[in-house]
Amino acid sequence: MWFKSLFSTRHINDFARELADTLAKRYPPSLDANPERKISANRLTKVLEDTFSRAAEFQQEHKLGMFGKAKLGNEFKWQLKELGYTEKFIEVATEGLMVYVTRGAPPPDSTPAEKG
């Protein structure tokens, strides 16, 4: 039965759902869908970076391989769709997530605004 746990992706599915739900609390789908009620770009960037950083930590903790990373990205994408985000936001958020889990989060002092 050890092989069953080796190939189980339930923890990935659960984490992707939790990640999407946490994102939805900080940036609800209703804000994304309503062009008149946008939040600032800086705030949205912070919300997304926090979300992606959690995903990178999860990836490091669970040592996800290529399949696990793809599963996480795909499940996250479907969770965002179910929550009602726009296709454009889903595309940007999923791409950002994949960059973070593949390359890791950038160091805190590498952002251009902080170097200035």
pLDDT in tens, 56-101: 999 999 999 999 999 999 999 999 999 999 999 999 999 999 999 9
**Burial of residue 37 (number of CB atoms within 10 Å: 0-12, 13-18, 19+):** exposed
| 108 confidence band (pLDDT: 50, 70, 90) | low
Q: Where are the domains of the chain?
A: 14-105
**Measured distance CA(94)–CA(90) in Å, rounded:** 6
pTM for this one? 0.83
